[in-house]
Chain A
Amino acid sequence: MSTLATAATAAEERSGQPLVEVSDLRVRFRGYAGREARALDGVSMSVGSGEIVAVVGESGCGKTTLARSILGLVRPSSGVVRFRGEELSYGARALRRYRREVQLVLQDPTGSLNPRHSVYEAVAEGPRVHRLKDESGRVARALSQAGLRPPERFALRYPHELSGGQRQRVVIAGALALDPRLIIADEPVSSLDASVRGEILSLLLQLRDELGVSLLVVTHDLGLAWNIADRIVVMYLGRVVEQGTTEEVLHRPKHPYTRALLSVVPEIDQREPVVLAGETPDPCRVPAGCRFHPRCPALASGAAAAAGVADDCVGTPLAVLPAAGGHSAACHLHP
């Protein structure tokens, strides 16, 4: 890749400034009958240059909303998104410029491609929107970067003529055609066959190594995070409950929620499986105190009472975890 991008990456690394940083991001959706869903309820996190960060959590925890608001597709009710230290502005022109830098890969590659557009047209859509020069050169380069080689063999095909893995590669090529610095992948492999997953994951790793692209991978699959991520952010009910390097989070999990999730991942640990009891979280009714307390195994087993924090768990709300600061958890047991 160009030396320019590498130089920029190096400069960012020296300055210690993250590529993308969100602080105290809140997103609310109005529901029926005045109910208000707090999809994001105070999230701070960051993605460094050339870093792969996995956002993990069960469905409804706000991870997709986080991805969409980093892309500027959802406007937060409060809080800011910073890209290279600059606050994201939502004017049409600024957003367009921003979207050359930050790109999206969705879960369902079949739905992400317009069935009426050829592979060439799908990949060229970005360069056309941004009126970039040398459109066909860009498309060919992006296709081969995404592992569709030789590009001319694929350019004139239509999505229905390709396999699921190839379609996802087309979507990735469409993002790469804009030379983004950050790719946000929302469940990039969960609709693919097990045999193809590994290929797509190694493609993502390769893109990071060769192009220095940062990745934010949204997933419900801790095993996937384990395979690919440098850092892991665990979310529960619109908040980050634990974050740290993959090693730290997966080998020395602090939060009872992370522990419960880990206990049921076969490839990581041989813990006793913890099955979470209680209702699945409802972002319209966030519990008081620690938002995890109605389902917390540590509170139920009396471990919290033994540590003398049971009252806090039920009554004292936790502060938003700061984006920086190494391995941390939002739990009264781990102040």
Chain B
Amino acid sequence: MSTEPPSVMLSSRAAARARRGAALRRFARSYAAHRSGMAGLVILGLFALIALLAPVLFPADMLDITKTVQNETLEPPSGEFWLGTDEGGRSILAVLAWAARASLTVGVAASAISMVLGTLVGIGSGHYRGLLGSLLQRLTDWFLVIPFIPLVVVLAAVLGQRGLGTIVLVLGVTSWPGTARLVRAQTLSVEGRPYLERAKALGGSDWHQMVRHVLPNVMPLVLANTTLTVALVILSETTLAFLGLGDPYLDSWGTMLDKANGAGAASTGAWWYLLPPGICVILVVLAFTLIGRALESVLDPRLGRD
């Protein structure tokens, strides 16, 4: 029998890489065919750019109330302040740009936590039948049926320290059950395929089966779902901040709304203070939702187009 030089193994890796590259290109092509998905991508790109460039466009001094005392407070939009000023005389446009950083960071970081937790719990409860599986499933159910806002409020209060980290943690550990349920369903469908039986007969451990066969199959769905989670998390962050549970030293769109409310923007007719953060939240949530829906329909042809 011929013995093979180790080059076969190396070229096997190269072939796997080439296949992944081709799959990625195919994916990009079919995503590009979704107009709404592309629109979402453009909106999100714009906000990401603003968030990244905020320190350049609006120096940090502009947010310091001690340095804005000479400005009019709650001044309507003008040539100098395109979106007017807040109760501290700060440019609302500058605050808005800086707040994008906080909101996007919370959205992405908390969704990452939620994605990891949801995937772990989902694959675990789908793979291990028996006690561990049902425990994980009950845990998921428990988090699903607990009313979201009270749970988040209580958690934020219990964790005390108001900061970005706390908010990320609280939202991360409360928003994973949807992902877990989805992953569990997909895991069950993959577990039924004969190649898992073959992997078992080859002597593959549970870890081997989950990482080599189940995970690659659930990952695309998880990514699509996570994009939708980002939207949910940003909305929740806004809610929390509006309820006064945000970081008071950090501007986010939610804290802006809270402060606008506190400054009586609604009753004094200062629409330039209330509307912009609200519209930003809506746009970013919309962008993530459009992207998530487009990803879903690209990855799952049964859902159809647009």
A residues with CB within 8 A of B: 71, 73, 92, 95-96, 99-100, 103-104, 106-108, 111-114, 116, 118, 120-121, 124-126, 129-130, 135-137, 139-141, 144-145, 150-152, 155-156, 158, 171, 174, 178
9 more A-B contacts (CB under 8 A) besides A95-B203, A125-B202?
Answer: A116-B217, A120-B8, A121-B12, A121-B16, A129-B203, A137-B3, A140-B4, A155-B8, A156-B11
- The total of chain B residues at the interface (CB under 8 A) is 30
Contact, CB under 8 Å: A104 / B201: yes
Name the contact of A151 in the complex, choosing from B4, B15, B195, B197 (C-beta under 8 A).
Answer: B4
Tell me if B34 is interfacial: C-beta within 8 Å of chain A. Answer: no
B56 interfacial by beta-carbon distance below 8 Å: no
- Which of A73, A156, A171, A174 sits near B15, CB closer than 8 Å? A156
Choose one: A95, A125, A140; the contact of B2 (CB below 8 Å): A140
Asked if residues B203 and A99 are in contact (CB atoms below 8 Å), the reply is: yes
Assembled-state Cα–Cα distance A126/B8 (Å): 17
B198 touches A136 (CB 8 A): no
* Bound CA span A100–B11, Å: 27
Check B195–A145 contact: CB distance below 8 A. Answer: no
Do the beta carbons of A92 and B194 come within 8 Å of each other? no
Query: Which residue, of B4, B8, B9, B216, has the highest number of chain A Cβ atoms within 10 A?
Result: B4
Residue-wise, chain B 188-229 has the 8 Å CB interface mask toward A (1 for contact) of: 000001110111111111001000110011000000000000
B9 contacts A120, C-beta separation under 8 Å: yes
Interface of B toward A, CB cutoff 8 Å: 1-6, 8-9, 11-12, 15-16, 19, 193-195, 197-205, 208, 212-213, 216-217
Chain B residues with CB under 8 Å of A141's CB are 1-3
| 10 closest Cβ pairs, A-B complex | A140-B4, A99-B203, A104-B201, A111-B194, A120-B12, A156-B15, A136-B9, A126-B202, A96-B203, A112-B194
Contact A108 B194 (CB under 8 A): yes
What total count of A-B pairs have CB within 8 Å? 100
Q: Whole-angstrom distance from the CB of B205 to the nearest CB of chain A?
A: 7
Residues of B within 8 A of A113 (CB): 195, 198
Contact (A116, B216) CB under 8 Å given A141-B1, A156-B11? yes
Listed by A's residue number, 6 A-B pairs whose Cβ atoms lie within 8 Å are A100-B203, A114-B213, A118-B16, A125-B212, A140-B1, A155-B11
Interface of A is mostly: helix
Q: Is the interface of B mostly helix, strand, loop or mixed?
A: helix
Q: Whole-angstrom distance between the alpha carbons of A163 and B283 in the complex?
A: 50
User: Which listed residue (B1, B197, B216) contacts A104, Cβ 8 A?
Assistant: B197
Complex Cα distance A95/B5, Å? 32
Are A111 and B193 in contact, CB atoms less than 8 angstroms apart? yes
Question: Contact between B12 and A156 (Cβ–Cβ < 8 Å)?
Answer: yes
A residues within 8 A CB of B197? 73, 104, 106, 112
Contact B201 A73 (CB under 8 A): yes
Give chain A residues whose Cβ lies under 8 Å from the Cβ of B12: 118, 120-121, 124, 155-156
Q: Which residues of B contact A136 (CB under 8 A)?
A: 4-6, 8-9
Q: How far is the CB of B87 from chain A (nearest CB, A)?
A: 57
Q: In the complex, what residue of chain A is closest to B196 when comparing beta carbons?
A: A114
